[in-house]
A and B are shown apart, each in its own frame.
Chain A
């Protein structure tokens, strides 16, 4: 069993309802902890989220979804870049956000 701290993931409200999640998700993710590995682990635990955050086949982020952590926008980062240490240590959450839209 890994001693690595759980990665904290915050989903937008509409995806929490879809996946029937209250509050944050906490998942063990094998290192290196990257956006790809976190999202792979999230989709493995909650298959109904497949296709709602990134494309089924290309794994590209959906256009109106954003990824934030440690007050930075990681949406345009390469998916295999390691996440910040604070996220890996479980001190800060990885935020999946619905882009602001509408008036």
Chain B
């Protein structure tokens, strides 16, 4: 029978949560890497037993872990992330030049086809690549070096490259997103890059529709229509129908268009999910009601999904990498909260149930659909 495996990164370790295809009974592992921040874990689409994890701490910096048995055991691999050439400067919070300094890996994106190839998005924003299973890392410097890098500025959480999407139909096309620089696209496997932010407007920067400077929180696409991109920005939910050449707002009737994650239904390319958060200073749901919002029309028209979610006194956040979808016939949706709950829906979001509680604050959730 098919099944699902959730990979949950938290502030104090990683958890592997599994169920069979019915998704009504869940097994939670003991913590892996207890005490460490696990910003992200992700499995290889080409070999589901090959997993990568980003492990870090203020004391001891960055470690990358690799598993070849679906997360039962792990081995540390390479953790040296050196920017190519002279790193130069970006803008600091106060607008002064600040040298590029590696802080941590926010996101790991394994290749669609090769288990040994994996991208890493890092803070201070840069894109790295390993082609030997994470043993060695080299920067793809064209992103930082394409011309606007010196004007990038960190968001409140740091200047992180948090989204990496490889176009499944055109693998030389890669999308990245950076807080608070914006979205970028490469059409030559990451060698050269350009900003793709036309149509974004951000009140927090001097020129609201500048080429860069937008705090993009997350981008998602459906593999059958990779030119259609969905974006949760600091404020505004956005959509592009042309690979990021231009964007239009699709916030519609959302109670607030601030939030972090956005994801797409596995079988319905126009069905998308967000978790509205009150504001940039109030990082919890409006009215203390934890609601996922679903649009079945590719945006603009949204419905709240509340069944099984707390509808009072809920003051949690859902971070940008903490939502995922499985690809079983009835699409499963998952998200984790900063108060340590993981919620699952086995019916495309119509109803929800907590499958884990009292974990450390959840930083990321990924799901693997297993044969």
Contact = CB atoms under 8 A, between A and B. Distances in A.
Interface stretch (B76-84, B199-207, B283-291): B76-84
Interface stretch (B54-62, B145-153, B176-184, B264-272): B54-62
25 contacts: A12-B59, A14-B57, A14-B59, A14-B60, A17-B34, A18-B60, A18-B76, A48-B63, A48-B76, A51-B61, A51-B62, A51-B79, A52-B60, A52-B61, A52-B79, A53-B60, A56-B82, A57-B82, A62-B60, A64-B58, A64-B59, A65-B59, A65-B60, A101-B58, A101-B59
A98 B62 CA distance: 15
A21 interface: no
Contacts, number: 41
B36 interface: yes
Interface of A: 12, 14-15, 17-18, 48, 50-53, 56-57, 62, 64-65, 98-99, 101
Given A51-B80, A57-B82, A62 B61 contact: yes
Interface residues of B, number: 14
B97 interface: no
Contacts of B82: 56-57
Contacts of B35: 14
Q: Nearest 9 A-B pairs (CB), nearest first?
A: A52-B60, A48-B76, A64-B59, A98-B59, A56-B80, A51-B79, A64-B58, A51-B61, A14-B35
A81 B363 CA distance: 42
Given A12-B59, A52-B60, 15 more contacts: A14-B57, A14-B59, A18-B60, A48-B76, A51-B62, A51-B79, A52-B61, A52-B63, A52-B79, A57-B82, A62-B60, A62-B61, A64-B59, A65-B60, A99-B59
A28 to B, nearest CB: 24
B80 A15 contact: no
Interface in B6-49: 34-36
Given A14-B35, A14-B36, A50 B80 contact: yes
Given A14-B35, A14-B36, A62 B80 contact: no
